[in-house]
């Protein structure tokens, strides 16, 4: 009964029938109340986005896997201290972190969001050392600015690590297979007796000790370790929405993979196909398959992609036709669903009189739900094996003896393919990882050069094109960013990766129609995604409806409080509404999520500059500059604050750096002219402004400043000419008043004007 109920739960999960899975699993727990079955029930609730239910079920449990699932529940409920206590029990300071790399990754996220950066980095690095294919851990290190070169992380040491893990577990399985063959030689050929023994064997396996995986993690055992969702990919981090797996700005912590031993021994060959065990996988960031033929545990399934038939020694006596059926069944049952949230903190260039810097941060961002590849094996192999083994005892023994050497030879061939596959995967990750690392360090041109090394089929994927779009955005090349994001939308119309940044690109290009269309598309795709509401907010902000824009950005914050970009956009709208107090709170909230989100440091600097709190302004601009030392806009305003503090020489040096960083940005040239005017170096200032007119021919402030210079040099005709041109270019109302006041005082000497 227990096995039947468990299989029913797994079947329901495979077909996304979560309510049925929960109901049947509750019957299972009522009839067979064990902690492993409670783990399965908690997993069902987590699949159904009911973390609070899993929290109640697992509270107080002690098994390692239970503690891990409980920590996942706490993390989703933002109970970070309880999650940490579950992974690291205070009364057991030396206790091993459950689930190896996955446990360290989850603990790293907890440390990150409790502002313990050094500990977070340590655990992300441990996760990578245990599992070189855990890409999400490397992403987090990049976001924290602590990632090593991808060539060292995904280098030869990683290949050796994967090879060592594979060889270690293959040797274990060979020993297990030999034991199984010895026991199989003494089996009775009577099929009824086989079925009777199998039934007893299945029941006894439910009481076995819980096996450990190659990370030292503890998996569910017994009935709870049978397959969950063997052929599908469901993340615990999804939300009830059409493309929910793509929404989290934080990459979700991966859960365990559960294996069962009772369905893999020769004794199970007579079992009915409905009770066969398949591979269980709930969520795992590095997109891995795991094979369980006998007691084969976690081995990266992607490495098996070219390895041909995957067989253990005890099944070596099967006919070649059966092997082909098995391989085909495994290939057809494995599915892949991979989405990530890897936005990075961005800042756009501003047009000449722009105040707010808008860019996106998703952590990947955030959160990136990671796909999983699961593998379920067809029962045709078991049935075929049963027909062979049940013909006669002597035939069974002879077949096994003859097949064993072939299996060993096949293993040697498989070893080579495993190593080659690992090398190919890590070579690809080296390029992707280095490009992402450089973009997080704002070395944009270097990142573009690295991404161009990717093969065509990988470059033209939604994730890569979105990263390219973000890099162009950081380079203030909005047209190229628009093109890259458009290609990303075409390649992955279902993905929301980078769409918050894309909406900002369209905002600065003033493409109101395209921005409106994008916002509507995103809302219809997933109205529970923060990216959708950020796009909608940018749409209203472009129409100067700042109050409605603010409501949309607040909705994004409500959906994902760890989405730093949404907090920053709220701050921009508060500044536009001149609500500086709430603007400061929003920027500080963004920095609590991501201390390297330099846009918020910049926003705080702008507020303090407006409030003439010059020391505070200079501090926050300098913090932004330390994070992104290549931003022309940040350097321009840092120079402005230095000039306001009467540090003109330092300000001039900073403006020169800003001009060299982006010659197309008119802001540092204008500020340099202002500094030269204050130093009464009028000829140099006029020379800079004449050059600036070529970059910004319709910027009224340039002509207004030239008018002031001519006025101070008593060249009234030229001053009046430039004031008139400035008015013709339709400046803002405040600038119009300033220019008209300057015209009225044109003939008033400066000394008298100062006294007035």
**Could you tell me which residue, 8 or 274, shows the higher pLDDT?**
8
**Which of 261, 211, 224 is closest to 57 using CA atoms?**
224
Beta pairing partners, 212: 218
Q: Looking at residue 555, what is its pLDDT? A: 96
Share of the chain above pLDDT 90, in %: 49
Q: Looking at residue 624, what is its pLDDT? A: 95
pLDDT at 323 over 50: no
**Could you tell me which residue, 357 or 60, shows the higher pLDDT?**
60
Mean pLDDT over 557-562 rounds to 94
Parallel, antiparallel or unpaired: strands 280-281 and 257-258: antiparallel
Model-level pTM? Answer: 0.67
**Which of 248, 198, 188, 258 is closest to 223 using CA atoms?**
258
Q: What is the pLDDT of residues 628-653, one digit of tens each?
A: 999 999 999 999 999 999 998 899 99
Q: Looking at residue 740, what is its pLDDT? A: 87
Looking up tokens 């060249």, which residue turns up? 715
**Which of 494, 491, 424 is closest to 460 using CA atoms?**
491
Q: Looking at residue 208, what is its pLDDT? A: 31
Strands (E) in 406-456, as ranges, are: none
207: number of Cβ within 10 Å: 9
Q: How confident is the model at residue 729 (pLDDT cuts 50, 70, 90)?
A: confident
**What distance in Å separates the CA atoms of residue 573 and residue 593, rounded to the nearest whole number?**
19
Q: Looking at residue 750, what is its pLDDT? A: 59
pLDDT at 349 over 60: no
pLDDT at 218 over 50: no
From 146-155, 161-170, 711-720, the region with the lowest mean pLDDT: 161-170
pLDDT at 254 over 80: no
* Backbone phi, psi, residue 147, to 5°: -80, 140
The distance of Cα 744 from the centroid of its chain, to the nearest Å, equals 58
Q: How far is CA 511 from CA 217, 320, 504, 752, in A?
A: 52, 61, 10, 48
Rg (CA), the chain: 32
Q: Are 538 and 507 in contact (CB under 8 A)?
A: yes
Strands (E) in 7-152, as ranges, are: none
Q: What CATH architecture is 1-98?
A: Alpha Horseshoe (1.25)
What tokens were used for 729? 């270019």
Q: How far is CA 460 from CA 201, 221, 431, 489, 492, in A?
A: 51, 42, 14, 11, 10
Q: What is the pLDDT of residues 76-126, one digit of tens each?
A: 999 999 999 999 988 887 788 999 999 999 999 999 999 999 999 999 999
Does an H or E element contain 681, and which?
none
pLDDT at 364 over 80: no
Q: Are 529 and 241 in contact (CB under 8 A)?
A: yes
**What distance in Å separates the CA atoms of residue 658 and residue 5, rounded to the nearest whole number?**
67
Burial class of 132 by CB neighbour count within 10 A (0 to 12, 13 to 18, 19+): buried
Does an H or E element contain 257, and which?
strand 257-258
Tell me which CATH code domain 496-595 carries.
1.25.40.10
Q: Looking at residue 155, what is its pLDDT? A: 85
Q: Are 254 and 368 in contact (CB under 8 A)?
A: no
Q: Do domains 1-98 and 496-595 have the same CATH topology?
A: yes
Looking up tokens 């055992």, which residue turns up? 221
pLDDT at 189 over 90: no
pLDDT at 274 over 70: no
Does an H or E element contain 281, and which?
strand 280-281
**Could you tell me which residue, 740 or 94, shows the higher pLDDT?**
740
Q: How confident is the model at residue 180 (pLDDT cuts 50, 70, 90)?
A: low
**What distance in Å separates the CA atoms of residue 708 and residue 689, rounded to the nearest whole number?**
12
Q: Looking at residue 173, what is its pLDDT? A: 65
Q: Looking at residue 2, what is its pLDDT? A: 87
DSSP character at residue 225? G
DSSP track, 511-524: -HHHHHHHHHHHHH
210 Cβ partners below 8 Å, 6+ apart? 36, 63, 65, 218, 219, 220, 221, 222, 225
**What distance in Å separates the CA atoms of residue 48 and residue 53, rounded to the nearest whole number?**
10
**What distance in Å separates the CA atoms of residue 168 and residue 133, rounded to the nearest whole number?**
18
Domain-wise residue ranges, the chain: 1-98, 496-595, 698-755
**What distance in Å separates the CA atoms of residue 134 and residue 425, rounded to the nearest whole number?**
12
Q: What is the mean pLDDT of the chain?
A: 74
Q: How confident is the model at residue 220 (pLDDT cuts 50, 70, 90)?
A: very low
**What distance in Å separates the CA atoms of residue 692 and residue 655, rounded to the nearest whole number?**
14
**What distance in Å separates the CA atoms of residue 263 and residue 272, rounded to the nearest whole number?**
11
Q: How confident is the model at residue 354 (pLDDT cuts 50, 70, 90)?
A: very low
**What distance in Å separates the CA atoms of residue 315 and residue 356, rounded to the nearest whole number?**
66
Q: Are 529 and 496 in contact (CB under 8 A)?
A: yes
**Could you tell me which residue, 238 or 642, shows the higher pLDDT?**
642
Mean pLDDT over 485-494 rounds to 94
């Amino acid at each position: 009964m227990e096995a039947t109920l468990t299989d029913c739960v797994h079947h329901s999960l495979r077909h996304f029938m979560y309510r049925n899975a929960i109901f049947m699993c509750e019957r299972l727990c009522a009839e067979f109340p064990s902690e492993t079955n409670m783990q399965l029930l908690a997993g069902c609730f987590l699949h159904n986005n009911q973390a609070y239910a899993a929290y109640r079920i697992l509270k107080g449990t002690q098994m390692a896997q239970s503690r891990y699932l409980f920590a996942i529940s706490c993390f989703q409920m933002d109970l970070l201290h309880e999650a940490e206590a579950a992974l690291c029990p205070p009364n057991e300071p030396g206790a091993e972190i459950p689930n190896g790399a996955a446990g360290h990754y989850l603990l790293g996220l907890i440390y990150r969001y409790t502002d313990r950066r050094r500990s977070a980095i340590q655990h992300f690095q441990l996760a990578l050392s245990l599992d070189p294919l855990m890409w999400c851990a490397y992403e987090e290190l990049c976001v924290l600015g602590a990632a090593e070169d991808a060539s060292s992380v995904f280098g030869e040491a990683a290949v050796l690590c994967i090879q060592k893990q594979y060889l270690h577990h293959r040797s274990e399985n060979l020993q297990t297979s030999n034991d199984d063959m010895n026991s199989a030689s003494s089996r009775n050929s009577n099929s009824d007796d086989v079925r009777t023994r199998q039934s007893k064997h299945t029941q006894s396996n439910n009481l076995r000790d819980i096996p450990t995986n190659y990370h030292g993690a503890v998996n569910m055992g017994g009935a709870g370790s049978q397959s969950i969702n063997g052929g599908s990919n469901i993340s615990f981090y999804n939300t009830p929405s059409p493309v929910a797996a793509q929404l989290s700005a934080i990459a979700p912590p991966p859960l365990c993979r559960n294996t069962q031993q009772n369905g893999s021994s020769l004794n199970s060959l007579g079992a009915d196909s409905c009770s066969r065990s398949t591979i269980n996988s709930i969520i795992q960031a590095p997109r891995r398959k795991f094979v369980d033929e006998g007691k084969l545990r976690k081995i990266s399934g992607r490495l098996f992609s070219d390895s041909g038939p995957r067989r253990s020694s005890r099944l070596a006596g099967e006919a070649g036709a059966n092997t082909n059926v098995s391989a085909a069944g495994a290939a057809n049952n494995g599915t892949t669903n991979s989405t990530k949230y890897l936005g990075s903190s961005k800042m756009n260039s501003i047009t000449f009189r722009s105040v707010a810097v808008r860019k996106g941060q998703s952590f990947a961002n955030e959160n990136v739900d990671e796909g999983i590849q699961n593998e379920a094996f067809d029962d045709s192999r078991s049935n075929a094996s049963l027909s062979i083994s049940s013909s006669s005892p002597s035939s069974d023994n002879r077949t096994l003896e003859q097949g064993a050497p072939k299996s060993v030879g096949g293993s040697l061939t498989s070893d080579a393919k495993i190593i080659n596959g690992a090398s190919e995967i890590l070579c690809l990750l080296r390029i992707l990882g280095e490009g992402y690392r450089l973009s997080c360090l704002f070395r944009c041109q270097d990142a573009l050069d690295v991404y161009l090394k990717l093969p065509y089929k990988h470059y033209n994927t939604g994730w890569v094109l979105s990263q390219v779009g973000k890099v162009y955005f950081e380079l203030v090349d909005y047209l190229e960013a628009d093109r890259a994001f458009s290609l990303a939308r075409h390649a992955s119309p279902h993905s929301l990766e980078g769409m918050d940044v894309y909406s900002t690109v369209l905002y600065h290009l003033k493409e109101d129609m395209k921005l409106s269309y994008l916002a509507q598309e995103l809302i219809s795709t997933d109205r529970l995604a923060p990216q959708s509401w950020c796009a909608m907010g940018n749409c209203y902000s472009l129409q100067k409806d700042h109050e409605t824009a603010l409501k949309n950005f607040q909705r994004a914050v409500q959906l994902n409080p760890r989405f730093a970009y949404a907090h920053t956009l709220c701050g921009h709208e508060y500044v536009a509404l001149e609500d500086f107090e709430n603007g400061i709170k929003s920027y500080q909230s963004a920095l609590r999520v991501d201390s390297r989100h330099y846009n918020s440091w910049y926003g705080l600097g702008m507020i303090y500059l407006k409030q003439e709190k010059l020391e505070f302004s200079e501090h926050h601009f300098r913090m932004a500059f330390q994070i992104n030392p290549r931003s022309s806009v940040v350097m321009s305003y840092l120079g402005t604050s230095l000039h306001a503090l009467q540090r003109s020489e330092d300000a001039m040096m900073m403006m020169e750096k800003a001009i060299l960083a982006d010659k197309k940005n008119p802001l540092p040239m204008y500020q340099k002219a202002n500094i030269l005017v204050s130093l009464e170096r009028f000829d140099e200032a006029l020379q800079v402004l004449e050059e600036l007119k070529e970059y910004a021919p319709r910027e009224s402030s340039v002509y207004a400043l030239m008018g002031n210079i001519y006025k101070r040099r008593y060249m009234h005709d030229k001053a009046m000419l430039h004031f008139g041109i400035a008015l013709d270019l339709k400046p803002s109302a405040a600038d119009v008043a300033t220019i008209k006041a300057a015209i009225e005082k044109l003939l008033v000497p400066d000394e008298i004007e100062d006294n007035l």
